C-alpha cells in the first residue's frame, strides 16, 4: 500500500463514521446552539416588513413635529390635512416613475417634489433650502407603533427581520436609528430601482436573502401589499393598523375571505411573534 493511501484511511474511516452518526447527533447539535432559529410550521426563515403605516406611525409623527414647527413659524395650518396630502401624492408620483413620465427617483426626492407643491398650496413662504431639506426629512424621524420595538426584538430571535419598503435605504437606516428599530438589514426601493408592488422588489429581497419565496413572509398592514407578495410566492402576515389614518378615519375592514387568504393574522408584532413561535 502506498504511504499516501495509508495516511488517507483514518480520515476516510473517520468521515464515514461521522456520516453514520449525523442523524443521532442532530438534536445534540441543535441543543448546543442556543441562538439557532427555532423551527416553525410555515417553514419561514425571514420576515420582511412594509414600514410606513405597518411599523411606524407616519401620520401621528408628522403631525407632532409639524405642530411644533408651525408654532415656531407662526403657521396656522391643519397639519393632519397637510400630512394626508403629502401622503396622498406618494402613489401618483411612483406611478409617474413606473410609466416613465419621471426618471427613476428615490422616495426622498419624490417627497420633496410633493412638498414643494404643498408649500405653494398652503402659502408657506420664506423657507431656506436648509429648512426645506430638514422638513422633507421628517419622514426619517417617524416613531414606531407602541408594539414595534418589543415585537421586532422578539421576532428577531427566530427570524431574519428586514424592511421591504418603497423608502430609500438612507431614509430607512436613519428611521431605524431614530425609532430604535432592530432590523438585521434594510431593503429599500433604490436597491431594485422599482417600487412595490413590482415583482422586482419582492423577489429581489428574496434573492438577497438567499431564500426561496416560500421561506420569506411579507408583513404588512395593507392587504394589497400582501396580495402582491403572495402572487410572487411569498407568505403573508397581516397586522392591521386601524389608527394609521388617524383616530377619525376608520379603514374598511378586510373581508373574511381576504383574512382567510393570509398565512397569519395578528393584532400586533408581539402577537405575531407568539403565533410564529
- Residue 229 has a pLDDT of 98
CB contact at 8 A, 60 and 143: yes
CA–CA dist 156, 147 (Å, integer): 14
**For 10-20, b where at least 16 C-beta lie within 10 A, e where not — what string?**
eeeeeeeeeee
- Residue 38 has a pLDDT of 56
Query: Cell for 10?
Result: 483514518
pLDDT for 23 beyond 80: no
**For 137-157, b where at least 16 C-beta lie within 10 A, e where not — what string?**
bbbbbbbbbebbbebbbbbbe
Residue pLDDT, tens place only, 32-87: 444 555 567 899 999 999 999 999 999 999 999 999 999 998 999 999 999 999 99
- Residue 22 has a pLDDT of 36
- Residue 39 has a pLDDT of 63
**Which residue ranges form the domains of the chain, and what is each CATH number?**
46-57+142-276 (3.40.50.1000), 58-140 (1.10.150.240)
Mean pLDDT score across all residues of the chain: 88
pLDDT for 6 beyond 70: no
What's the pTM value of the predicted model, to 2 decimals? 0.85
Three-state SS sequence of 95-132: HHHHHCCCCCCCHHHHHHHHHHHHHHHCCCCCCCHHHH
| pLDDT, mean of residues 141-169 | 98
Amino acid at each position: 500500500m502506498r504511504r499516501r493511501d495509508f495516511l488517507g484511511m483514518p480520515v476516510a474511516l473517520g468521515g464515514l463514521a461521522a456520516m453514520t452518526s449525523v442523524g443521532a447527533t442532530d438534536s445534540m447539535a441543535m441543543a448546543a446552539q442556543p441562538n439557532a432559529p427555532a423551527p416553525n410550521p410555515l417553514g419561514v426563515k425571514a420576515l420582511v416588513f412594509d414600514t410606513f403605516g405597518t411599523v411606524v406611525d407616519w401620520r401621528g409623527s408628522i403631525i407632532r413635529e409639524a405642530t411644533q414647527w408651525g408654532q415656531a413659524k407662526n403657521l396656522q395650518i391643519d397639519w393632519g390635512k397637510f400630512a394626508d396630502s403629502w401622503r396622498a401624492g406618494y402613489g401618483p408620483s411612483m406611478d409617474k416613475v413606473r410609466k416613465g413620465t419621471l426618471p427613476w427617483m428615490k422616495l426622498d426626492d419624490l417627497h420633496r417634489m410633493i412638498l414643494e407643491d404643498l408649500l405653494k398650496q398652503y402659502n408657506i413662504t420664506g423657507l431656506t433650502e436648509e429648512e426645506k431639506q430638514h422638513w422633507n426629512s421628517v419622514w426619517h424621524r417617524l416613531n414606531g407603533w407602541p408594539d414595534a420595538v418589543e415585537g421586532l426584538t422578539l421576532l428577531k430571535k427566530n427570524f431574519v427581520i428586514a424592511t421591504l419598503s418603497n423608502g430609500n435605504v438612507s431614509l430607512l437606516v436613519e428611521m431605524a436609528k431614530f425609532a430604535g428599530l432592530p432590523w438585521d438589514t434594510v431593503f429599500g426601493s433604490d436597491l431594485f430601482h422599482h417600487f412595490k408592488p413590482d415583482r422586482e422588489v419582492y423577489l429581489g429581497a428574496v434573492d438577497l436573502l438567499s431564500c426561496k419565496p416560500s421561506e420569506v413572509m411579507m408583513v404588512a398592514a395593507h392587504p394589497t401589499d400582501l396580495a402582491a407578495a403572495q402572487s410572487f410566492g411569498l407568505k403573508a402576515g397581516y397586522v392591521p393598523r386601524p389608527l394609521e389614518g388617524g383616530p377619525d378615519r376608520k379603514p374598511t375592514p378586510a373581508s373574511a375571505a381576504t383574512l382567510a387568504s393570509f398565512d397569519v393574522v395578528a393584532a400586533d408584532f408581539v402577537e405575531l411573534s407568539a403565533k410564529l413561535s
